[in-house]
Amino acid sequence: MSYTLIAENIYQVQLPLPFALRSVNCYLLRGDDGWDIIDTGLHTPEGEAGWRAAFAALGVQPGDLRQVVVTHHHPDHYGMAGGLRQWNGGDLTISMMARELAMVEQVWWQAEGMKHAFSAFMQRAGVSGAMLAGMLEVSAEIRNLTHPHPPTIDTIAADDVLTLGGRSLRVINGPGHSVGQALLYDAVDKLLFCADHILLKITPNVGLWPGSDDDPLAAFLDSLRELSTLDVRLGLPGHKTLIHDWHGRIAELEHHHDERLAGIATAAGHGATALDVAQTIFDFRNFTFHEMRFAVAEAQAHLEYLRLRGGLRREGEDGVWVYRQ
C-alpha cells in the first residue's frame, strides 16, 4: 500500500490487485467536515489492510467518511464500497451513475442470470469448453470480492456538481470502458478524475459485454473528442501514473485504435470469430482466464465497430458469430 499527496487535500491511495494491473488508484479527499473517497478497490484482505493503513496514517476515524463516489461498476472500483460503509459505522453515502448501478445489480447482485448471459455471449464469440469454464470460474471468484454490498446506492448524473474534499466537481459521462463512467472535473484547479477512461502507459479496455451498448468503441471515441476540449493540467487515473499531457495522451489513444481497427480488419480476413481475432492480436500463451475475457470482449467491440460501418459482415446470427471482409 502507498498513498501520495498529489494536490491540496487529495491523496492517491494505491491498493493491490491480484491481476496483471497490480494496483488500483483510489482517491481520499479531505474536507472541512470529513473525508470523501473516489473508488474503493477490490475487497481482499490486502485491499482492506491498505485502506486501514492509510486511514491510520492520516488520522481518519470511523465516522469521518462522508461519501464515496464509485466511478464505474468494475470490481476493482466498486468492490469495497460495502466494506467501507461497515468500517465507517454504517452511515456513508455511496453514489454512482444510474447505468453503472444497473450494471452492479446485473453483474454482482444477480449471479445466476449474469452467468447465463455471459456464457451465451462468449459462445457467440467462439469460446467454449475449458476456456469458457475457466472464465466462468474466475468470474465467480471475483464476484465474491465485491461483498458485502451496500444496502443502498444513490445515483448521480452527467453535469451534476458534487462537493468532494471542499472542491466542486462536475460529473462527466465517460462511456466505452464501461457503460458510463463518472469522470469528475475540477474546472478551477483543472484536475480531472478520469477513472479508467484515459490511462497512461496502457490503453483502457473497450469491450463488448452483456448489458453494454451495441457500439461501445464508437461511444469511447466520441467521448475522447469531447474530452479533448477540456482544459486539464492533470489527469488522475484509476491505474498507473498521473497524466500531465492530457491532449497528447488523447491523441495517442485515438492513434492506437486506428491501428487496432486496421489490424482487426486484417485478422478477420475471410472468416474469424472474436476469439480467433483476439488470439491473433494478443499473445494468449501467458494470459489468465481473466485476461482472456477482456481480450475477447475487446476484439468483439472492434469487430462490431467495423461491421456497423460496412467494413465487415457478420454471419451465424443464431450460433457463433463469424466476421469476414
Res 32: pLDDT:
93
Burial 114-134 (b: 16+ CB within 10 A, else e): beebbbebbebbbbeeebbeb
Whether the full predicted model's pTM is greater than 0.85, yes or no, is yes
| Strand order, beta sheet including 234-237 | 161-164, 167-174, 181-186, 191-195, 234-237
Q: Measure the CA–CA gap between 99 and 3, rounded to whole angstroms.
A: 30
Confidence (pLDDT) at 222: 98
In this prediction, residue 76 carries a pLDDT of 97
Q: Domains in the chain, start-ordered, CATH in brackets? A: 2-143+151-324 (3.60.15.10)
Grid coordinates standing for 319? 450460433
Grid look-up 497528447 returns 248
Sheet with 2-7, strands from edge to edge, namely 2-7, 10-16, 23-31, 34-38, 65-69, 93-97, 154-156
Give the bridge partners for 29, in sequence order. Answer: 10, 36
- Over residues 34-44, the pLDDT tens digits come to 999 999 999 99
Question: What's the rounded Cα separation, in Å, for the pair 73 and 114?
Answer: 14
Helices assigned H by DSSP within the chain = 45-58, 75-78, 81-87, 98-104, 111-124, 129-143, 216-227, 246-268, 274-281, 289-308
Q: Is 189 helix (H, G, I), strand (E, B) or coil?
A: coil
Cα separation, 123 vs 174, whole angstroms: 28
Q: What residues in the chain have per-residue pLDDT under 50?
A: none
Position 202 scores a pLDDT of 94
- Are the CB atoms for 67 and 36 separated by under 8 Å? yes
Query: In this prediction, what percent of the chain has a pLDDT beyond 90?
Result: 93
pLDDT of residue 288: 95
| Cell 485491499 belongs to residue | 47
- At 46, list the grid cell: 490486502
How far apart are the C-alpha atoms of 38 and 184, rounded to whole Å? 9
Enter the C-alpha cell of residue 154: 444513490
